[in-house]
Chain A
Amino acid sequence: MSDVARQGINSAHCVAICDAKRGFRASLAGDAPLSIGWLAGCAALASGAHWVLASGGMAPPHPMIALAIAALLLDFRRMAPIAAGWREFVLFGLSLLACLAPFRTSTALGLACAGLLATRGGARPAGILLIALAGWALKDAVWAGFASVPLLWVETNLTAFLLSLGGAPALADGNRILLADGGRFVMLRACSVLALAYPCAIGVYALRRLLRPTASVGWRRILAALGLLTVVNMARLVAMAASPAAYDYLHGPQGALPLQLAWAGVALAAALPKGKS
């Protein structure tokens, strides 16, 4: 390990906590070695760009993505100028190789490598966020299909139970709910908390990093946010199954707004208050 690297590691904590600008400026200085932070930033940038291009869409960014990007920028800006070694160059190379592949799922490998780089550079929260985003990039291709089967079953049965409890007899059958009036309510992945939980967890984590950068991760807050979100979504499902008017509204063009507001409210409520967690 070079002297510069040792010096960087020794001063990393002070640079990150006491004088963020110093670390950022030092990394931009002409004589500074190629830092891990720079490599991590380039890898994250490339993976993010590959994600957007491979997705084939330029849709407005998900609020979770926007929050994660803001938190990542903050963390990258605070990273100490630690010189990159051969392991970091290998990770950087792997990340670029992943971006070369014409598959959207390869984005996950690029993001994971960027996350490992950020962690090795002393920015663990940025590493967690990038690796979490890598998991999100694999959602549709890998794990959502497996997770949806038991989750949809639980949500369908719970919704039917709540409907029956509220005086509207209903019977769960797979991911369908048979209603007393002969109607059917089909539970799809887009209706499930599956589509909301992951963005909510990342959003709360990123928001907490933005609002209280020196605080601990707050896993309990994230779990609490997920619980609240599950309750909100369950109420939405029951309302849609119970009332055709509610179904039409919540499935209509304006239907996403209440859920987005609830999502934002849950994330804010979980991230804002001060506490020990």
Chain B
Amino acid sequence: MNNEVWNTVENLVLRVHRRNGGQLLELDFDLRLLDAGLMLDSLDLAEIVAEVERVFRVSPFEAAEPPATWRAFTQYLVTSGISGVVQTE
């Protein structure tokens, strides 16, 4: 289940990154959410968060401390008790 969460987040980020012209093959989870290398703006981040909320039914921005990196972002999902099946379209 944990791997599934990490993979889902990576796929979401890379999908938007590539749509914006990026060519990264994998996500460095230690990058900040809007690191320039990811070529994401706040609207793109909003899209990723919307999709994460739809899939996992929780938002990392409900955490007491908003996540700064993709690792913190994903770790929140892993530790917030996601036990159900990941919802895909």
Q: Do A and B bind each other?
A: no
